[in-house]
Structures are given as C-alpha cells and as structure tokens.
Amino acid sequence: MNFLHYDLNLGSGEVVEVTLDKQANVLLLDDTNFSNYKRGLRHSYFGGLAKRSPVRLAPPRPGHWHLVIDLGGYAGSVSASVQTHRAA
C-alpha cells in the first residue's frame, strides 16, 4: 500500500491545510485507526476523497494525529504540501 504520511501534533483550534496536485483521499486518523489503516482493517477517519485543493481539516480534539494521503489503490502518484493554521 502506497501512501503519504504526516505525523502531526495539533493544538486546540488548529486546522490542517493540504494542497494536492490531483484528486486523492485525504484522511485524518488517530493512532488506533492509523494502525488499522496500515493493516487493511476497518478504520474511522475525518476527511475523504478530495476533488478540489486545498483541503482543510479540523480535528475534533487536540492531540496526536496522522494525516494520510492515498489514491485509493489506483496506480500513480500524488504530491502534497501540508500546513497547519489557527482556525480563523
């Protein structure tokens, strides 16, 4: 399984902004769900298929998060840049 992974520590009120060069799945997962994702098990996430860029995701709580970007099993590659901002 090919995917881009970003390890994030997000504070209260922070938003993750992802800029993509093509459509892709953009998922924000906690530790347990990231582990399940890597093993191909059922997992919960925030986000989903991003058809437009940039994508902004706000975690439901501060803490440690994993941002995953993948093509859903399709061939190819995706480029991304990731920034965090305080919510306006």
The pLDDT tens digits of the residues spanning 28-46 come to 999 999 999 999 999 999 9
| More reliable by pLDDT, 48 or 88 | 48
Q: In terms of C-beta density within 10 A (0-12 exposed, 13-18 middle, 19 or more buried), how is residue 49 classed? A: exposed
In single-letter form, the type of residue at position 37 comes to: Y
pLDDT in tens, 8-26: 999 999 999 999 999 999 9
pLDDT at residue 2, rounded to an integer:
87
pLDDT at residue 86, rounded to an integer:
87
Number of domain units in the chain: 1
Whole domain around residue 43: which residue ranges? 4-86
pLDDT in tens, 47-85: 999 999 999 999 999 999 999 999 988 888 899 999 999
